[in-house]
Structure formats: C-alpha cells, structure tokens
Structure 1
Amino acid sequence: MAEDYVYLQGGRVGAPDAEDDSYTKDGTLDYRGNPANKTVTGTWKACPFILGNEFCERLAFYGLSANLVLYFKNNLHQSSAAAAKSISNWTGTCYLTPLIGAFLADAYLGRYKTIASFTIIYVIGMALLTMTTSVPGLKPTCVSKDDCYATAGQSAACFVALYLVALATGGIKPCVSAYGADQFDEDDEVEKKHKSSFFNWFYFVINIGALIASSLLVWIQTNKGWEWGFGIPAVSMAFAVVSFFSGTKLYRNQKPGGSPITRIVQVVVASVRKYRVKVPADESLFYETANAESAIKGSRKLEHTNEFRFFDKAFVELPTDNTKGFKDPWRLCSVTQVEELKSIIKLLPIWATGIVFAAVFSQMSNFFVLQGSHMDLHVGSSSFEIPAASLSVFDTLSVILWIPIYDRLIVPFTRKYTGHKNGITSLQRMGIGLFISIFSMICAAILEHIRLQMVREHSYYDLDHMPMSVFWQVPQYFLIGAAEVFTVIGQVDFFYDQAPDAMRSLSLSLALSTVALGNYFNSLLVTIVANVTTKNNKPGWLPDNLNYGNLDNFFCFLAVLSALNLGTFMLISKWYTYKKTLGTLR
C-alpha cells in the first residue's frame, strides 16, 4: 500500500504505541524501515560515523581547494584574475549543486541513499583529478616547479574531474548536517537540547579536517608535488565511504515527503486559479486533514499565519476542486502545504544577506593567498618556508578555538539572561558574525596598504617575496574564523530549524547556495573592477603582479558592502516571524 514505506531493505512501517517511549516520536525509521528504537539507534552513538564521513570529505575538499588558485596560476598557466575567477566559479558550483542533491533527498531517495551514492561519485572524481597530475599525457608539462603549460585537452580533463567533484559535493553538503540532526528526536526534550550542540561540534570536525588540509596537505602540494597533494584527498574520500556505511544499522532515517518543488508549484497554481475567491475568516473552514497527522509524509502540520495571504486562497475548498471523486492537488492544497511555501518565502531575505558574507569569505581561497604569496614566507629566521595557502590554518584554529568557547561559555552565560535555550537566537548569532566580517576586510585592507607603501618606497615591484612576514595576515584570517563560528553555524541551525520538516535538505541547500552565489558575485566583482580600473593603460587594482596594483581598495570596497549588508540584515531580522508546528510527523 502507499502508506507502507520501505527505506532500505524492505521493512514494513508499523506505528508504535503512542505510550511506548522506547521509540522515536518524530517519524524516523531504522535501517530496515521500522520505527526507530531509541535505545539502539540515533543520538551520539550514530553521530561518530556521520562525523567521520564529514571529516574525511572536508579533508579532501579543503585539501583540494585551499591551494587550487596557485595550481591554476602555476600549472595551468592562468593569470591572477583568471585564476581567482576559476576558483570562484568552481567553488560556487560546489555550493550550487546541493540544490540537486537536496531535491533528490527530500523528494525521492532520502538522505541516507543520497549521501551514499554521491560519496562514491566523489571518489571517482578525486581519482580522475589525481590522474591528471600523475599520468603522462594528462598532466601539464613543467619547465620548473612554478612554470608549467597545459594543453586544451589537459585543462579540460582537469576541469572535468573538478566539476565531477563539484557535482558530488551537491549530494553531501545539504544532507550530512541534516542527517546528523535527524539522529536526535525533536519530540524528546532531552535529545532536542543536543541538536544545536551537534551543529557546533559538526563544524568543529569540519575544521579539524580543514586544519590538516591547510597545513600538511598544502605543504605536500608545494614541496612533494600535486600527484601526492591530490592523491591523499582521494584516499581520504575512500575512508569517508567506509565510515558512512559502517554506521548503517545505527542511523535514524526520515521518510522522503515527495517533491517539495511540486508542492510549492501546486500552491502557486491553485491560488492563481482562485484569485477571485475570498478567504473566510473562520479558520475551521480551511482545508486540512482532520487527524493530527499532516497529509505530507515526513512533516508535521504547520500553524496558519496571516502573511502572504494571497496564497491562502489555495486552501479554500470549492465544489470544482473535486475531480472524479478525488481532491485535485492543483486546485486544493492543505494549510500545511501553503505554509511550507510561506516558510520558504520568509527565508529568502535572510538567505540573500548571506551572499555578501560568502563573497568576503571567498577571499581566503583567492586574494588572501595571492597577497600572501608576495610576502616573506619564512618561519622566523629559519630557511623553512610556509606555503601562502597554509595561512588559512589560522582561520581553522580560530574556529576550533571559538566553538568550545561559544558552546561551553557563551551559551550558558547568555542563557541566564535571555532564557533562550541556545543563549541567543540564530538570527542574533548570524548578525554578530556579519559584524565581525567587516573588520576582517578592514584588517586585510590596512595590511595591503602598508605592504604597497613598502613596495613603492623600496622599489620591491619585481621581488617574488618582499621582506615583510606573511604572518601579518594572521589577524584577518583569525577574524574570518570568528565570523564563521557565528554566521555559518548560525545559518545551518536557522535554516534547519525554520524549514518545514519535509524540506530540510532543500532549506540547507538554500543556505549553501549563498556560498555559490557569493563566489559568483566575487567573480563578477573581480571582472568589473579589473575592467574599470585598467582603462587608459593603467595596471588597475588587480594586475598579475599585485605589487603594481591596489588590492587594498578592493578589500575596502568589500568592507563597505559588508557594512551595508549588515544594516539590511538587521532590518530583515526584525520583520521575521518564527514557524509554529502542530500535531505529529507522518
């Protein structure tokens, strides 16, 4: 029957006794498709396998992306601006493809199958990328370590592998954090308190992977070669597959609720068809299922709100809504279905403010690296040189430092005064991060201004590394890391919590898409700034040799955009109303 749902191995779903506290109340199932038993599934005993998968995947991703701008410049022989745009476009795609993975997870496959299948694609992409750096004919021809040339075919093979990885990330990014949160029963007050903490430690694990990638892997890429630098992340992804499948019997799985896009379009179509219909004041006349359960699988009912009332017309029942004895979903929608659309619409303004932050954050993988590459890379007075991309380790260390401080000190302290279970709301947390990000750009601009003054005073224009320590970049990386802890984790928590139950992967992919659009936005800004500032034969702000440019002006420009973005976010946050759920999951 349609009500029977098989998640993995053909088990039949049976509803446990409502008084039986040994089963979850949020509709989750075990690996056989039966109601999840609290004593043997979920919570922190299932999370290590999910976190292990994410650790290996993030190690691979950051090991690939941290130094990629220099690979484009030195091995594929791209200019500074072209390399910055290439990394922005690829990174943007990595954060746009989650819309595909989220749709498949929410509508058809569920999060388990989506993560499992896309992780395997990831391994294939990484293996192909490793081949483009080690197999004769596929790898570029190098005159020296930093002077290589790639044919059109070699460049194409590299980008095919990279965009295969970008596709694979689309099935993992929006699902893994949501899948970890699924392991905690929302209807169990004890487990629910651990969910927000999970997001903090989830991001902590991500940054441990990033720490290893931005230090050890970047050093290997710089000193031992790209075949090792890309080969190790490929092996890491193989471990990610093993880790994820090892926890199969412990996982709790939410049922896919059918296509969320279809449900959204149905509401729009039904409300347009009934544009002349007046919505009755008596809410008992609104169309919704009579029982406590929602008609949407994997979702609780949502309370009716008075926002965007035009769409309320979709749940006004008319005689013409019946087709051959059945309710036509393209003419009549439930209150919960209408409120799903409203919830997504309300998220969009908050979502939009994340784009500028993502553009600022993207500087770590392009212009921060290029800025550092012109500075003294020696560690103290020793002969050892640190790769410029390895400075991102201070962003990671900042995150690793701030997460325990936030989780163990800030939350308990603020909880005493606010009474909020998380100390401060997710929106307040995001706003603090946006504020901190402004100072990261100001700090980077000041450093670049001082660096360029030294270049001009001492004619260091053609020096590969001027006598100014790269460790002066530490403050700007540290501030970006602090901004991450507040804004990025706040976004994940907010978009998961405020999404309709059956749209959580889609909602998280929406949050991730700000990173994509932020990178595309940065690429657009670089193109515009390069074109505008190079008129009349001027070198412009962003020439190949940054010693002749004005990168400090570009950082100042981003600081101004960030300040305007923060003001917009504060206005939107005052307007936002939180969702309210009714009944139980189906």
Structure 2
Amino acid sequence: MNVEMDEIKINETTEIDEQKWVYDSSVDYKGRVPLRASTGGWKASFLIIAIEFSERLSYFGIATSLIIYLTKVIHQDLKTAAKSVNYWTGVTTLMPLLGGFVADAYLGRFYTVLASTIVYLLGLVLLTMSSVVPSLKPCGNDLCEEPRQVHVVVFFFAIYLISVGTGGHKPSLESFGADQFDDDHPQEKRKKMSFFNWWSFGLCAGVLLGVTLIVYVQDHVSWAVADVILSLVMATSLLIFCVGRRFYRYRKVIESPLTTMIQVVVAAIKKRNLAYPSSPAYLHETQKSETNRRRLCHTKGLEFLDKAAIFDEAIDEKQNPWKLATVTKVEELKLVINMIPIWLTTLPFGICIAQSSTFFIKQSATLNRKITHDFMIPPASMYALGAIGMIATVIVYDKILVPLLRRATGNERGISILQRIGIGMILSVASMIVAALVERKRLNIVQVKGSMSMSVFWLAPQFLIVGIGDGFALVGLQEYFYDQVPDTMRSLGIAFYLSVIGAANFLSSLLITIVDHVTEKGGKSWFGKDLNSSRLDYFYYLLATITAVNLFIYVIVARSYSYKNVHSRRTADVANCYECDDREAMA
C-alpha cells in the first residue's frame, strides 16, 4: 500500500514538473532546460512566422517579375531570359538540401537562419545598389539599348546571393518554428498541428503582397523603390528575429544524421550472417532517450537493417557505432526509406502546381486586364488569387473543419496527414480540367473576336482551385516531412518537401520538351510560337490524366504507410511498444 502511494506521489510530482519545464531535449538561449511559460509556444513562433512573411514577400516580388526585368532592362531575348529564370529557380529550390544538412549536422537551426538571413539581406542590398548607385545602374539614362556589363554582373551576383540565403533560410526556419512546441505535452501538441496552417497563412500573406504591392511598385514607380522596400522589410524582420532570442527553444547539434544512417547500413552488412533474435526485446536499445533524439518503437519491414541492432558479445563489448546501432537509429533509417514512395507519388501534384506560375501567368497576359480606364492588373498579380484561396482554406480548415472532423474521426488532426495531401491532389486534377476548359474557350474567342475581348477573371477559378489545393496538399506535405523524418533531420525534412516542388518544376520542363517533340512529329506541336498557336488545353488534359492515374497509386502507397511510432517518456522496454496501434491509414 505504501509503495503504491509513493508511486502515485512520484507520478504527480513528475506531471507537475513537466508542466513547468520542457523535457523534449530542447534548451533555452543559455543552454538550460527551458521554462515552459516563458519560452516557445505561439509568442516565439509568431516571431518566426514574421521572418517567413518577409522572405516570401521578397522572393515572389523578385521571382514573378524576373523574366520581365531580364527582357525589358537587361534586354535578353525571351528564350535566354526563360533559361536564366529556370537556372535561378533550380538553384533556389535545390539549395535547401545543402542548407538543411548544414543546419542538422553543424550550425543548428537558429544560427543557420541567422546566417542565411544576413546573406539574403546582403543580396537585397546589392540588388538595390545595382538600381540606385549611378555607376551600377543599367545605363546613364532611363532608356538604353544595352545595359552596362557591371550592372549585369552585380545583378546576377545579387540574385544568386538571395538563392544561397533561401537555401539556408527555408528548411531551417520552418523546422525551428515547429520546434517551439513540445510533442509530449497535449496542449502544445495540438498547437503544433495548427502551427503549419498559420505558417502557411503568413507565407501566403507575403506572397499576396509580393505579387500585388511590390509588382505594382515595379510597374508604376520604379525597380529601385521596390528593391528598397524589400531590403527594409527584410532588415526589420531580422531585427525582430534577434530580439526574440531569449524566447526560443533550441536543439543542440549532436551528430550528422547522414553519418548515423551510414553506420546502420555498415553494421547491418557486417552482421548479415547473424540469426534474428526470437523477440525484438533482445535488440540493442538505450534505456532512455538520447539528447535531441526520442526513442522509436521497433517495426516490421526492412528486417535486414534490424541486424545492426543485434548485440554480439564477441564484437560489441565497446559498442562501436559502426558495428552496433540502437533500435532507434535503425528505425530512423527505415523512416527515410519508407518516405521515398510518398515523395515520388506527390511529384505529379507538383507538376500541376508549376503551371500556375508559368502558363497561367502567360494566359493572363493575353486577356483583358483592365479594371478601370486607367488601371490594368499586372499579369503576375493574378497569382494573388491562388494565395487568397490558400489563406481562406487554411483558416476554414483550422478553425472549422479540424474541430468537426476531430469529433467525427477521433483523430487529433481531424484527418491523417496523408489524407489531407490526397484531397489536395484531387483538387489539382480539378484545376487542370478547369484550366483546359477555360483555355479552349479562349482559343474559340480568339478565332472570332481576339483574346483581349475575354476578361482575365475567367482564369480566377483555376487560380482559386490551385490555392485551395495548396491549402490541403502543400501544408500537408510540410507537416508530413517535418513530422515523419527522424528528430535529428527536421531541417532536411523541410528540404525534402521543398525538393518535391523543385523536382516537379524540372519534370514539368522535361514533360514540355517530350510533348513538344512527340506532337511535332505528329504534325503540329502543342506548343507554338505563342499561346494562340498552341494547344495548352490538350496539355492540361494530359496533366489531369497523369495526376489522376498517379492518385490511385498514391492511395495504395498511403494505405500501407506506417507512421512514426515514438516511445512514451516512461517506456523503457523495446517490446512494450512493438507494433503499437498508433498507425493511421489512408481511407
């Protein structure tokens, strides 16, 4: 009786202690265990979201008008300008893989964000100088036939500095924001589920202002004034980020996650001839979570890798990590391998999304964009409708759908992450069908009256559907890749999400090349000299078909996917959570 009473008191003391302090392996700015009331949570994450707002404002303010600047100011021909934009976009979307690795293996998320934001700001300042400093301007007057070579060099150096800054900024900042919530604290865990929705809200707010306000300033005032605004906004957000330093929770960098995975493979190969133990309880595991790494439950599948965790007295007395791995490290490698099919089956969705920033914008330029006699909408500003759709979806989903679905399904998220992504993929199919129908109507009107007689707002449905789909799929992908990667790889997890979009853009270009080649052999290419001589409607139908077929494959992959299964803090035995019933299935 006394023993039971003592255990109850110990548990009550532990619960009270965990309400006051955060024991999720994070530390405060002085390296101590964080005090829950004064660190992390929404007050810290909103400061981080402010940085993302300014970064997206700057990026889309530059990216959506880049091809216009290259053709009008630097006087590149359309083909060369398109290649320049593709190279810049490609570097910008691939750099996060390097930035995420550096954050997880060396610098940590806070210092990676700080360093990359400074680099980003330097790029913006240099960009401003290229349009303000007389000796760096394109030429001595407003109109010139050919820009100075020094301007071209400084301009490209500036935008590639911004690419480098984005590479460290994007993967580290989002994961750093999510780190402000404790997964093992019920209230904070729910807030963390909402974090990705409000992160996307801040992101879309930046996009919205970037493609409206900044683009308007570029068109109607000057490129120099727009660059000055972007530099001031980024400098202000950097100051805010630094001021909030005492409120953040930090994760210490212990080891390179890539090295850990290689060690598991090497250990498994060395022990390939050993027999499997009769129970997973005999596999090697630590008795408590390591710093910065929660213990994971053993799962079936990829059993060859389990051999790395078999303890062999003959060679494992010193527990060399190249010869013996813990169950957690083995499961971390399994997590990464199991994510590959999900990554591959989301690529067609990314290809559909890529059309909104290329062909959709080109369609906008051919239609009637007049609002009043004196005001005409810039083509790139139509992208704002997608941002509005995404913002509305995020708010409705977080405030209305999640509470209703939570009661209906019993799932804390309302629906599983993969179900949310699946809904977004369905909407991407719908957006391509709508885009095809609108394009066919535009082509019919061109033959009779000319496309300028058709309002640009005919494109509104396809932009809005894309935005709504992003509110489901893109936010779901962010949450999925952050949540399901090993704890030591969360910056890389966000980089994996970004790589879906980057790879999809390259695949979109490849698909256009293949379709152009095949249809040209058939008599007439779907991609002519201009939109009026092209058949984009056929291309949109092709994308809808590819994505619909892929959706069935995605459902099969998602139904067989096992979500990450983490030990409770008080669980000590590997066998106690073997095949825990904490899996979610794709309906």
Regarding TM over 0.5, the answer is yes
Q: CA deviation at 1:470?
A: 1.2
Matched residues in 1 for 2:520 and 2:20: separation?
68
Matched residues in 1 for 2:230 and 2:278: separation?
59
The alignment status of 1:57 with 2:55, answered yes or no, reads yes
Q: Give, as a single letter, the amino acid of the residue that structure 2 aligns with 1:478.
A: L
Please tell me whether the aligned partners of residues 57 and 230 of structure 2 are also in contact (alpha carbons under 8 angstroms). yes
Q: Residue 87 of structure 1 aligns with which residue?
A: 85
Q: Residue 563 of structure 1 aligns with which residue?
A: 548
Q: Give, as a single letter, the amino acid of the residue that structure 1 aligns with 2:428.
A: S
Structure 2 counterparts to residues 92-171 of structure 1, below 5 A: 92-135=90-133, 138-140=136-138, 149=146, 154-171=151-168
The alignment status of 1:403 with 2:394, answered yes or no, reads yes
Matched residues in 2 for 1:511 and 1:536: separation?
37
CA distance 1:562–1:537, shift in 2 (3 Å): closer
Q: Residue 207 of structure 1 aligns with which residue?
A: 204
Structure 2 counterparts to residues 435-474 of structure 1, below 5 A: 435-458=426-449, 460=450, 466-474=452-460
CA distance 1:536–1:579, shift in 2 (3 Å): closer
Q: Residue 5 of structure 1 aligns with which residue?
A: none
- The DSSP-based 3-state class of the residue aligned with 2:21 is coil
The alignment status of 1:328 with 2:320, answered yes or no, reads yes
Matched residues in 1 for 2:526 and 2:363: separation?
12
CA distance 1:211–1:316, shift in 2 (3 Å): same
Q: CA deviation at 1:365?
A: 1.9
- String of CA shifts for 1:204-242, please: whole Å, max 9, x gaps: 111111111111111111222322333322222112211
Q: Residue 579 of structure 1 aligns with which residue?
A: 564
Q: CA deviation at 1:153?
A: 6.4
Q: CA deviation at 1:490?
A: 0.8
Q: Residue 389 of structure 1 aligns with which residue?
A: 380
Structure 2 counterparts to residues 31-430 of structure 1, below 5 A: 31-78=29-76, 80=78, 83-135=81-133, 138-140=136-138, 149=146, 154-289=151-286, 291-294=287-290, 297-319=291-313, 321-322=315-316, 326-379=318-371, 381-430=372-421
Q: Give, as a single letter, the amino acid of the residue that structure 2 aligns with 1:64.
A: I
- String of CA shifts for 1:319-368, please: whole Å, max 9, x gaps: 4534xx63221121111111100011111111122222222212222211
Matched residues in 1 for 2:125 and 2:318: separation?
52
Matched residues in 2 for 1:66 and 1:499: separation?
32
Matched residues in 1 for 2:146 and 2:504: separation?
30
Matched residues in 2 for 1:450 and 1:137: separation?
50
Q: Give, as a single letter, the amino acid of the residue that structure 2 aligns with 1:30.
A: D
Please tell me whether the aligned partners of residues 119 and 240 of structure 1 are also in contact (alpha carbons under 8 angstroms). no
Matched residues in 2 for 1:82 and 1:550: separation?
23
- The DSSP-based 3-state class of the residue aligned with 1:556 is helix
CA distance 1:148–1:565, shift in 2 (3 Å): farther
Matched residues in 1 for 2:126 and 2:510: separation?
29
Q: Give, as a single letter, the amino acid of the residue that structure 1 aligns with 2:282.
A: L
- String of CA shifts for 1:499-538, please: whole Å, max 9, x gaps: 2211211112111111111111122223333444456995
- The DSSP-based 3-state class of the residue aligned with 1:95 is helix
Aligned residues: 557
CA distance 1:555–1:151, shift in 2 (3 Å): farther
CA distance 1:36–1:504, shift in 2 (3 Å): same
Matched residues in 2 for 1:152 and 1:453: separation?
45
Matched residues in 1 for 2:380 and 2:84: separation?
16
- The DSSP-based 3-state class of the residue aligned with 2:292 is coil
Matched residues in 2 for 1:198 and 1:545: separation?
43
Matched residues in 1 for 2:111 and 2:171: separation?
13
- The DSSP-based 3-state class of the residue aligned with 1:414 is helix
Q: CA deviation at 1:406?
A: 0.6
Q: Which has the higher helix share?
A: 2
Q: CA deviation at 1:391?
A: 0.5
- String of CA shifts for 1:128-162, please: whole Å, max 9, x gaps: 233344455655569998x9755776555433322
Matched residues in 1 for 2:546 and 2:477: separation?
20
Matched residues in 2 for 1:69 and 1:434: separation?
29
CA distance 1:86–1:558, shift in 2 (3 Å): farther
Please tell me whether the aligned partners of residues 87 and 366 of structure 1 are also in contact (alpha carbons under 8 angstroms). no
Q: CA deviation at 1:555?
A: 2.1
Matched residues in 2 for 1:411 and 1:542: separation?
43
Matched residues in 1 for 2:363 and 2:472: separation?
26
Report the identity percentage. 38
Please tell me whether the aligned partners of residues 181 and 198 of structure 1 are also in contact (alpha carbons under 8 angstroms). yes
Matched residues in 2 for 1:82 and 1:360: separation?
24
Please tell me whether the aligned partners of residues 45 and 178 of structure 2 are also in contact (alpha carbons under 8 angstroms). no
Matched residues in 2 for 1:264 and 1:87: separation?
36
CA distance 1:506–1:106, shift in 2 (3 Å): same
CA distance 1:56–1:374, shift in 2 (3 Å): same
Q: Give, as a single letter, the amino acid of the residue that structure 1 aligns with 2:115.
A: S
1:496 to 482, 501, 504: 482
Q: Which runs of 5+ in 2 are unaligned?
A: 1-12, 571-587
Please tell me whether the aligned partners of residues 141 and 150 of structure 1 are also in contact (alpha carbons under 8 angstroms). yes
Please tell me whether the aligned partners of residues 355 and 517 of structure 1 are also in contact (alpha carbons under 8 angstroms). yes
Q: Residue 22 of structure 1 aligns with which residue?
A: 20
Q: Residue 550 of structure 1 aligns with which residue?
A: 535
Q: Residue 461 of structure 2 aligns with which residue?
A: 475
Q: Give, as a single letter, the amino acid of the residue that structure 1 aligns with 2:283.
A: F
Q: CA deviation at 1:87?
A: 3.3
Matched residues in 1 for 2:232 and 2:474: separation?
28
Please tell me whether the aligned partners of residues 263 and 321 of structure 2 are also in contact (alpha carbons under 8 angstroms). yes
Matched residues in 2 for 1:29 and 1:260: separation?
20
Please tell me whether the aligned partners of residues 53 and 239 of structure 1 are also in contact (alpha carbons under 8 angstroms). no
Q: Give, as a single letter, the amino acid of the residue that structure 1 aligns with 2:88.
A: W
2:509 to 506, 515, 523: 523
Name whichever of 39-48 and 230-239 sits farther off.
230-239
Q: CA deviation at 1:387?
A: 0.2
Matched residues in 1 for 2:326 and 2:339: separation?
21
- String of CA shifts for 1:359-413, please: whole Å, max 9, x gaps: 221222221111111111211x523111000011111111121111111111111
Q: Give, as a single letter, the amino acid of the residue that structure 1 aligns with 2:420.
A: R
CA distance 1:151–1:443, shift in 2 (3 Å): farther
- The DSSP-based 3-state class of the residue aligned with 2:59 is helix
Name whichever of 547-556 and 326-335 sits farther off.
547-556
- The DSSP-based 3-state class of the residue aligned with 1:327 is coil
- With normalisation by structure 2, the TM-score equals 0.89
CA RMSD of aligned residues (A): 2.5
Matched residues in 1 for 2:200 and 2:263: separation?
36
Q: Give, as a single letter, the amino acid of the residue that structure 1 aligns with 2:196.
A: F
Q: CA deviation at 1:19?
A: 5.6
Q: Which runs of 5+ in 1 are unaligned?
A: 1-15
